[in-house]
Amino acid sequence: MPATEPRRPAFRPANDIRLYDDLADQWWQPRGSFAMLHWLARARGELVPPARRPGAVLVDLACGGGLLAPHLAGKGYRHVGVDLTASALRHAARHGVGPVRGDVLAVPLASGCADVVVAGEVLEHVADLPRAVAEACRLLRPGGVLVLDTLADTALCRFLAVTVAERVPGGAPPGVHDPALFVNRERLVRECARQGVRLRLRGLRPSFTDFVRWLAGRAEWVRMLPTPTTAVLFSGHGTKEG
């Protein structure tokens, strides 16, 4: 069966947080508006190492509906999700995430509380990148791991992530991105280094074969594959100095 067409949200300006309330029923629909976020959550989960100590905490910044939760099963973390959208946090809580309502620019959690901080598909939505990075790194214990993925500030990314992806099944909901906020990779690495985290980047892309099979209803999800270029979608992984 072909991918189902999600209901259209009310018009919102680009990057308007109210869009997530408009689409609240789509979080756990594998063929809904957030389909690609499911694929990215799986890839993100693969970068999270098993917990090294009892009671380890993973803080999931802008956790949305908690899509990362299934991919942490058996890894030994208490999963804490931070998000501004109450409707998303309700979904996350149903999947075992400890919900905390808060802004990624001023996270209401103690410094050094986290063994792992995950910032998935959020940095391209914030107006103050240095502050968001500083908050993510502040939460980490010495030796803690930062995992992120985001969109690059390039013309190619603006074309593929907005002009193309917001018009195809499985891509981003229309209007979810403001391309002016896409992330400069050199600046991101530099800001992480200022906070004691040496960030390593790698490019990501959907598997074309899987995507075609998904469109045809013959696959439940699409693998995100590493690619040499970080000019569109990329992930980052780093450890906080001890």
What is the mean predicted confidence (pLDDT) over 32-36? 94
Q: How far is CA 118 from CA 9, 10, 140, in A?
A: 28, 30, 10
Within a domain: 156: yes
The answer to whether position 29 is within a domain reads: yes
Residue 3: the pLDDT is 46
Q: pLDDT band at 10, cuts 50/70/90?
A: low
Q: Quick one: pLDDT at residue 6?
A: 47
| 109 Cβ contact partners less than 8 Å away, ≥ 6 residues apart | 59, 80, 82, 100, 102, 139
Q: Tell me how long the chain is.
A: 242
**Which of 49-53, 98-102, 171-175, 237-241 has the weakest average pLDDT?**
171-175
Least confident of 7-11, 104-108, 175-179, 196-200: 7-11
- Rounded Cα gap, residues 118 and 116, in angstroms: 7
**Domain range spanning residue 75?**
19-239
Say which CATH number the domain at 209 has: 3.40.50.150
- Residue 142, domain member (yes or no): yes
pTM of the model: 0.93
pLDDT at 85: 97
Residues near 120 by beta carbon (within 8 Å), at least 6 away in sequence: 40, 41, 44, 60, 61, 62, 68, 147, 148, 149
9 found inside a domain: no
- Hey, how many other C-beta atoms are within 10 angstroms of the C-beta on 241? 12
- In the predicted model, what is the mean pLDDT of residues 28-48? 96
Spatial distance between the Cα atoms of 206 and 222, rounded to a whole number of angstroms: 6
| pLDDT band of 11, cuts 50, 70, 90 | low
Domain assignment present for 37: yes
Q: State pLDDT tens for residues 205-223.
A: 999 999 999 999 999 999 9
* pLDDT band, residue 64 (cuts 50/70/90): very high
Amino acid 13: pLDDT: 83
* Residue 2: inside a domain: no
Question: Residue 5: CB partners within 8 Å, gap ≥ 6?
Answer: none
Identify whether 1 is part of a domain: no
* Total domains present in the chain: 1
Residue 151 belongs to some domain of the structure: yes
Report the pLDDT value the prediction gives residue 4, as an integer from 0 to 100: 46
Measured distance CA(102)–CA(12) in Å, rounded: 22
Q: Is the pLDDT of residue 5 over 90?
A: no
The predicted-structure confidence for 134-157, as pLDDT tens digits, reads as follows 999 999 999 999 999 999 999 999
